Structure 1
Amino acid sequence: MSNDAGANADGEGASASPTPAVAHHGHHEHHGGALKLAVGAIGVVFGDIGTSPLYAMRDTFAGHHRLPLDPLHIYGIVSLMFWSMMVIVTLKYVTVIMRADNRGEGGSLALLALINKHSGVKKWSGGIVLLGIFATSLFYGDSMITPAVSVLSAIEGLAVYQPHLGPAVVPLVVGILIFLFMIQSRGTAKVAAFFGPIMLVYFAVISVLGVISIAAMPEVISALSPHHAVTMFVQDPWRGFLAMGSAVLAVTGAEALYADMGHFGRKPIRISWLAFVLPALVLNYLGQASLLLRTPDALASPFYLLAPEWFQWPLLIIASMAAIIASQAVITGAFSVTQQAIQLGFIPRMTIRHTSLQAGQIYIPVINFGLMIAVILLVLVFQRSSNLTAAYGIAVTGAMAIDNFLLAVVLFQLWKWKTWLAVPLLGLFFALDAAYLGANLTKIPDGGWVPLMMGVGIFTLLTTWSKGRQLMRANMAEGTIPIEVFAKSAHSSAARVPGTAVFMASTDLGVPSALLHNIKHNKVLHERVVILTVAIQGMPYVDEADRFTVKDMGNGFYRLILRYGFLEETDVPETLKRVTMCGEPFQMMKTSFFLSRQTLLPSAKPGMALWREKLFAWMLRNAASAMEFFRLPTNRVVELGSQIEI
């Protein structure tokens, strides 16, 4: 995956050099005991699914497709939620998909890179790539909806306990969200240390409230039997199907288990889910079912009305903190996914700031500001969490359905599972996710159009950028001179001056345009000329032994390839300090970096529609500078421009 400072230094398909063989698994060891990591996972990974009890049961019965509050439907819905958590979360994600890690990292883009690395072909098949990009696009929609619906549903407890405070809910939510996004630039390392204990308290509290309510009606435990869900679908199939559109809210955030695997490891996440989070959620849903059977009027907010009067305000505070933590986790996830997408060539370069020495603690101003505007607009437009949950379901079920296709490739191509074992398992996952997606599609007029519109918009941007870079590289490659030929001819035809010149190149073939322009206009060459390609590999991290490759071209010319994983920071000067095979060591005060800056001229050439060419040109103009992206010293950079058509 070559990285071109001149054209667009954000990373592209693996073309610079073969990916080195890597023996070990995972770049970073998970320090500390499994229990400590499990507590950390509770704070970061499970915030989204953990806050589902705030609204899932309420919206299933009082949402856009109302259900009768009778034993048939209450028992049926609890049974459906429980077995959905068992099949989708426990079996699909925790047991199966989390085994498909890319050197310890998870998520749709990491899985795409894994498939590419082991499939024996140089390029991903078009369909799989498009599915992965669309899953990423839906994730951004989820990143916008989660903070809005989580914080709204938590703060709405004010109106449950004190109805006259209802008008204050939306302004208070907007204020909390603005504060949340404003502190992102300070980093979340210190704040994250408190996430685990707070979420532990939250899950303990909702468990106890659930047990107290169950004790008032112990027979509600029988709702865990799958026959109640079956009975509901047999006796009331249409309403049962529509109810799935809201019942899926009980498993929102399941994909986060996979995406966040790299931060904690597979085992701690499994421990957290099976030993703590799953039991807490089941107890709370059973408690809400018991409450609704005993007191149908509690449907206004079965979560908050589980609490005795003296505990209402403490519960409101604890739930609000849990909602903020859930929002923080998904914002951090958006930063991480963006960094991967930049390195893999699907998003233009953006300014990435590291907020601590800990890997993964990054801040991307453009994404933060964009998410803040989108989340606040969602709150102001939809006003209530019950209005937003219609939008929520489609983003979640769409991403889950796409994961099935990626999983199918993994099972058959990577793991070589027997057909008799893989097909029934995939059939179960496809059937359940298709039913949930179909039920959510009925809510498109009620808000489901929001994530679809967001997904299509982001998908268009990502595919336009990827296709545009491909076309631009092909254009730049036309008529390139072999570097060996150029080195021999230029050596005798240009004056040599002291120092080192580093010319950034998108591939390891041909002469970079910056070098051609320099010799054409300045008619000089430095004593040492290094043609540097930054190659982003299809793995999260690269071993130091495989970090760079040097080829001596003679006459003071060197071809240097630096390799980085798609989760690593591309700090070129720092890496050059460790390169010892390019003659003398690199000294930044004696080194000049030459970058190419292309100005695109949209044309009628076949390749992309004219409007997409203009969109690509706009994205290229607004990409962060290669100088900043590669951490190059500002006083040692020379940019040479040119115009090209695509």
Structure 2
Amino acid sequence: MFLLMKRIIRVLMNVIYLLDIFHKMLNKIILVKRIISYLSCLYLCTQILIIKRITLFNKKEKNMREDTEKSVVCNHNKIGLLGLLVTLGIVFGDIGTSPLYVMKAILHTGETINESTILGALSCIIWTLTLQTTIKYVCVALRADNNGEGGILALYALLRRLKSKWIYILAIIGASTLLADGIITPAITVTTAIEGLESISPDLPVIPITLAIITIIFFVQRFGTESIGKSFGVFMLLWFLLLGVVGAVSITSYPMILKAFNPYYAVVLLTQSPEWFLILGAVFLCTTGAEALYSDLGHCGRKNITISWAFVKTMLILNYLGQGAWVLNHVPTALSVNPFFSIMPQSMLIFAIIMATGAAIVASQALISGTFSILSEAMNLHFWPRMRIKHPTHVKGQLYIPMINLAMYIGVVLIILLFRDSSHMEAAYGLAITITMLMTTLLLGFYLHSKGVSRVLTILFMGAYCTIEAIFLAANLSKFLAGGWCTMLIGGILFLMMYVWVRAMKIRRHYVCTKPLDDYYQIISDIKADESIPKYASNLVYVNHADKEGAVDDKLLYSIINKQPKRADHYWFINMEFVDTPDTLEYSCKTLVPDTLYSVTMHIGFRIEPRVSLYLRQVVEDLVASKKVDLKSTYPSLRKNGIPGDFRFIIIHRVYYPESSANRQQNLLMTLYALISKIGIDEPKALGLDTSMVVVERVPLIINQRNRSIRRITQIVNKKEEQKEKGCL
């Protein structure tokens, strides 16, 4: 503890030393001091006003929810120093590393470097952060929460009950492009940070060092990141302070850079520059982390993100302005270096590179964890095949999906080897996330309409942001051939997989035949009482896929009655209902036939991993405690000693045969579905069943009547035997 305090004091002393230097420089330039003080006060007042308005609006909400979770992550939703620090470490890693490459990307667009260009580009950055991140995401999107959870899939879960059946397409387009962006982010952030070493040693092997760091990042995922994650907040606080202080010091070398706050310079640049679309494509990189900010709503809470963003945005803008000031003072050499590292004092360069590498690791970790969370939600929303999920720590929401971790690692390594340096990666970055933001805007429009917001305001919001993001999309499309094709290819493959999975699941559900369960109460009771039938199990459990209440899958009844009649003491039908809320875990139980037949409906949130064996055990314990069921074995020797009866699960697996459908489109979809399902796990493991007690019965999935064009097999007739038969007659 003493050593930790000593290190913190040492870091604070360094910060105070830098602030002292900054103060002395400002005293020499009185005009600059007054301008910066005025603009800083004006800017902070604006941020405080935004926060105050959001807080007041929150108090007016009628349906305030109290978070009763006691896990580590949920406690971070409370406003306080700990909550704000954790928010800095979890939420702002992606957007916080954008100063590493945004200004460098702008300089490489080919536009002439002069005051008008730099002021216009900086003005675009400031107002992009304001319009996109502050207004759209912080002020609007963070309010569109699903029981405290955010992100495009959580937003879709709120809207999937609407009449618009095609709305799922917006969700899977947004999710697939967001996942594609998650592959390029670790590559570009880590590579850019390591490239800073070239200013010290030009012959340093950047790619091997980058690959080594990437390998370590993905390797440690299997062990969990709870221990190192606790320090992310403090580290990112120091990172943002470094950005702001160094940027502010650099501003003093060219005070007129503060004119970039005026949007006039952005308008002039976009209307007069022939390379405006390339510049706008580079500017967009400053806000790519905004979607991740919305996705992390459930980890930190709206108020923590809102308050932290005021600080983060201030530090980012100071750093961008500082880089712009340095560029205007060093126009001849600006293209050959990265302005981010150039504004650093030479004595702090090594420290800055270490900090940049650490920030890149934090950003990469946030993207990897976010990818696991998104795919976990997609599984419960039936957008993705269910995969094996591990929980390396006891922290709520921390997941590890081995196959996805390996696939992401291979993808990041291939991107690094393909593009070689960050300048080429910048061309591949930004296009996919633009589409995600556009899909989020459309879904937010549906959300605002469903909440009773006036149609005029909804149309104005959607029109304004669809226009802004369409312009950004057009600007980023200019980078398609230079590298944007890469993320679009990845996003396209992911979209195709999700689309096929959704359509195939609908086809399977459509052709599942159901029957009223109450018509079979008597025969099930008779089978139980028929001792001539060998007892199959004391407790027989089926997973019922019928959607309607009181209905049962006909193949389930066929398994009990026709296919080797199964006698048991108790029959349990489990109905799985994945609800629109994230953390719901409830059940309801009905006794259909006393001491014989029970129906259990489990209501599971889209962020909860199904573990049917565990949940059923808890349900049975409740029923036994309330004396609604007697689980003691009916075998006299076992019952005498109070031993409970055994459980056995029966899973009905429907197999698709192409010959059963004349529809070529359905045949293609179901064939692709079969291929995609190979990356997932089988249904017993997906439901969390103890595989030692599971029997899988395979039955045909009859999509349609047999095609009449198929030839019918004919019987071979022996003429002699036929004549004998006729003679006998």
Q: TM-score higher than 0.5 here?
A: yes
Quick one: which of 280, 284, 301 aligns to 1:248? Answer: 284
The structure 1 residue matched to 2:596, chosen from 543, 550, 556, is 556
The structural deviation recorded for 1:486 is: 2.5
Q: 1:336 and 2:373 equivalent? A: yes
2:553 alignment partner, SS class: coil
What is the aligned partner in structure 2 of residue 136 from structure 1?
A: 175
Hey, what's the Cα distance between the residues in 2 that align with 1:272 and 1:422? 28
Conserved? CA contact 2:181–2:433, under 8 Å: yes
Secondary structure of the residue aligned to 1:353 is coil
In structure 1, distance between residues paired with 2:492 and 2:348? 44
Query: Contact 1:187/1:356 (CA < 8 Å) preserved in 2?
Result: yes
Equivalent residue, structure 1, for 2:358? 321
* Match runs of 1:379-398 below 5 Å: 379-398=416-435
**Which secondary structure does the structure 1 equivalent of 2:203 belong to?**
helix
Which of 557, 564, 570 is the equivalent residue of 2:610? Answer: 570
- Which of 384, 402, 405 is matched with 1:368 structurally? 405
When normalised by structure 1's length, the TM-score is 0.90
* Partners of 2:434 and 2:126 in 1: CA distance: 17
- Counterparts of 1:558 and 1:517 in 2: how far apart (Å)? 17
Distance 1:540 1:68, change over 3 A: same
**Which whole-Å deviations, capped at 9, do the CAs of 1:179-209 have from their partners, x for residues lacking one?**
1111111111222111111111111111111
Q: When the two structures are superposed, what TM-score results if normalisation uses the length of structure 2?
A: 0.80
* Aligned pairs (5 A) from 1:288-367: 288-296=323-331, 297-299=333-335, 300-367=337-404
- Whose radius of gyration is greater, 1 or 2? 2
Is the 8 Å Cα contact of residues 391 and 449 (structure 1) preserved in structure 2? yes
Residue in 1 that maps onto 2:86? 40
Q: Alignment partner for residue 113 of structure 1, among 131, 145, 157? A: 157
Match of 2:39 in 1: none
Deviation at 1:305, TM superposition (A): 0.9
* 2:630 alignment partner in structure 1: 584
Whole-angstrom CA distance in 2 between matches of 1:460 and 1:422 = 31
> Is the Cα–Cα contact under 8 Å of residues 571 and 598 in structure 2 kept in the other structure?
yes
Cα distance in 2 for partners of 1:153, 1:512 equals 59
Aligned to 1:599: 655
- Cα 1:526–1:191 change in 2 (3 A) is same
Deviation at 1:428, TM superposition (A): 2.3
Stretches of structure 2 that go unaligned for 5 or more consecutive residues are 1-62, 633-642, 704-729
Q: Determine whether 1:59 maps to 2:105.
A: yes
Structure 1 pair 530/294, CA: closer, same or farther in 2 (3 Å)?
A: same
2:318 corresponds to which residue?
Answer: 283
Partner of residue 156 from structure 1, selected from 173, 185, 195:
195
Matched, 1:492 2:532: no
Work out whether 1:638 is the aligned partner of 2:678: no
Q: Which amino acid aligns with 1:560?
A: V
Equivalent of 1:260 in 290, 296, 299: 296
Which residue identity lines up with residue 474 of structure 1 in the other structure? Answer: H
Q: Which residue of 1 aligns with 2:719?
A: none
The structural deviation recorded for 1:105 is 0.4
- Aligned residues of 2:160 and 2:167 also touching (Cα < 8 A): no
- Deviation, 1:127, is 3.2
User: Which residue of structure 1 aligns with residue 29 of structure 2?
Assistant: none
* Shift, 1:611, TM fit: 3.2
- CA offset digits 1:312-334 (Å, max 9, x no partner): 11111110010011011000000
C-alpha deviation, 1:60, in angstroms? 1.2
| Structure 1 gaps, min length 5 | 1-21
Secondary structure at the counterpart of residue 437 of structure 1: helix
The 8 Å contact of residues 106 and 258 in structure 1, kept in 2 or not, is answered as yes
Q: Quick one: distance in 2 between partners of 1:25 and 1:114?
A: 19
Distance in 2 separating the partners of 1:58 and 1:164: 21
Preserved contact between residue 514 and residue 640 of structure 1 (Cα < 8 Å) = no
Structure 1 residue matching 2:568: 3-state secondary structure: strand
Counterpart-to-counterpart distance in 1, 2:197 and 2:255: 30
**In structure 2, what is the equivalent of residue 219 of structure 1?**
256
Equivalent AA in structure 2 for residue 639 of structure 1: V
Aligned residue in 1 for 2:148:
104
2: CA distance between counterparts of 1:293 and 1:621?
Answer: 56
Amino acid at match of 2:545: S
Change (3 A) 1:195 1:239: same
Where do 4+ consecutive residues of structure 1 move more than 6 Å?
586-589
Following the alignment from structure 2 to structure 1, what is the Cα–Cα distance between the partners of residues 464 and 516? 54
Question: What one-letter code is carried by the residue in structure 2 that aligns with 1:525?
Answer: R
Q: 1:191 aligns with which of 225, 228, 242?
A: 228
Residues 432 and 633 of structure 1: CA distance in aligned 2, closer, same or farther (over 3 Å): same
CA distance in 1, matches of 2:112, 2:258: 20
Aligned partner of 2:558: which letter?
A: L
How many angstroms apart in 2 are the aligned matches of 1:548 and 1:145? 45
Task: Determine the C-alpha separation between the residues in 1 that align with 2:179 and 2:126.
Answer: 27
Query: Corresponding residue for 1:461?
Result: 497
Higher relative contact order (CA 8 A, sep 6+): 1
Structure 1 residues 448 and 622 mapped into 2: Cα distance closer, same or farther (>3 Å)? Answer: closer
Aligned-residue offset at 1:363: 0.4
Kept after mapping to 2: 8 A contact 1:27/1:541: no
Greater displacement, 496-505 / 512-521: 512-521
CA spacing shift, 1:288–1:174, aligned 2, 3 Å: same
- How far residue 418 of structure 1 moved from its aligned partner, in angstroms, is 2.1
Cα displacement string for residues 215-250 of structure 1 (whole angstroms, at most 9, x for unaligned residues): 1122211211111111222332x3223310111001
For the aligned residue pairs, the C-alpha RMSD in angstroms reads: 2.1
Q: CA deviation at 1:554?
A: 4.8
TM-superposed CA distance for 1:470, in Å, is: 1.3
Between the two proteins, the alignment pairs up a number of residues equal to 609
Q: Summarize deviations over 1:437-469 as a string: whole Å, max 9, x none.
A: 110011111111112211221111111111111
- TM-superposed deviation, 1:214: 0.6
Offset of 1:286 from its aligned partner?
A: 0.3
Question: How much has 1:25 moved relative to structure 2?
Answer: 5.9
